[in-house]
Amino acid sequence: MTDEQEKDLIKLMEQFCQRAETYGCDSVQVLVSVTDNKAGTTVAKRRGFGNWYARQGMAKEFIDEERTRTEEEVKLREYDARSNDDGDDWKGTDNG
pTM tops 0.85: no
What is the dihedral angle through the alpha carbons of 3, 7, 13, 15, rounded to the nearest 10 degrees? -160
Cβ 55 vs Cβ 29: under 8 Å: yes
Q: For the segment 18-28, what is each residue's pLDDT rounded down to a tens digit?
A: 999 999 999 99
Q: What are phi and psi of 58, to 5 degrees?
A: -65, -40
Distance CA 31, CA 57 (A): 14
Cβ 27 vs Cβ 58: under 8 Å: yes
Distance CA 21, CA 15 (A): 10
Residues lower than pLDDT 70 in the chain = 84-96
Looking at residue 90, what is its pLDDT?
62
